Homo-oligomer: A and B are copies of this chain.
Amino acid sequence: MEKKIITVSREFGSGGRTIGRMIAEKLNIPFYDKELVDQIAMESGFAPKFVEENGEHSPGSSLFSYAFAPQGVPGVMNGLSTADFLWNIQCNVILQLADKGPCVIVGRNADYILKDRPDAMHIFIHANMDFRADRIVRLYGESEKAPTVRLQEKDKRRRVNYQHYTGRTWGMAQNYDLCLDSSTIGVEKCADIVVELVKASK
């Protein structure tokens, strides 16, 4: 079965987003990450920054409350919490993007949302703590919190969000066609392995 849709799930700081972009460039297909966020934002009425920051966070986060209804769309949430409302929109957007044609989708639980598409290949990128800590400081700069604390907090949020909306355990190999440790394999090599597999599926 030809693989047309590549979903890339990733640990924060693992380089998964970069790998996703490399795959899209090498295959010359669209890459959805911030673009996806923007589209979700436009449909939901949320500000892009808000969606970007909360789209993969815990549904129990203090940021998520019924008080955060999007401006200008009164009543549109149909009694759903902000997180559930966002989840429904994310599902619809991702299903639509996959229907549009070949693409790479990073994050947003797309592996689960597209689990029943036989033409989708699901990738999980992870890396050891040292690699990730070094990477986030290099890419996003220092902050008041130690990098390992930032990573642990982000990991926990993604894990809780994923568990809540999919019923699956975050990081289980069985949810993916391919899981790669970018810290031992290398970011570029991870992309090459996936690209080769996609090409071989044609």
Contacts and interface: CB of A to CB of B under 8 A. Distances in A.
Given A124-B179, A178-B185, 10 more contacts: A11-B174, A121-B184, A171-B173, A171-B174, A177-B180, A177-B181, A177-B184, A185-B197, A189-B197, A193-B197
Interface in A177-197: 177-181, 184-185, 189, 193, 197
Contacts of A85: none
Interface string A46-84: 000000000000000000000000000000000000000
A108 interface: no
B176 A181 contact: yes
23 contacts: A11-B174, A124-B173, A126-B173, A126-B174, A171-B172, A171-B173, A171-B174, A172-B172, A172-B173, A173-B173, A173-B176, A173-B179, A174-B181, A176-B181, A177-B180, A177-B181, A177-B184, A178-B178, A178-B185, A179-B179, A189-B197, A193-B193, A193-B197
A149 interface: no
A180 B178 contact: yes
A139 interface: no
Contacts of A126: 173-174
A146 interface: no
Contacts of A184: 121, 177
A189 B197 CA distance: 9
A122 B192 CA distance: 19
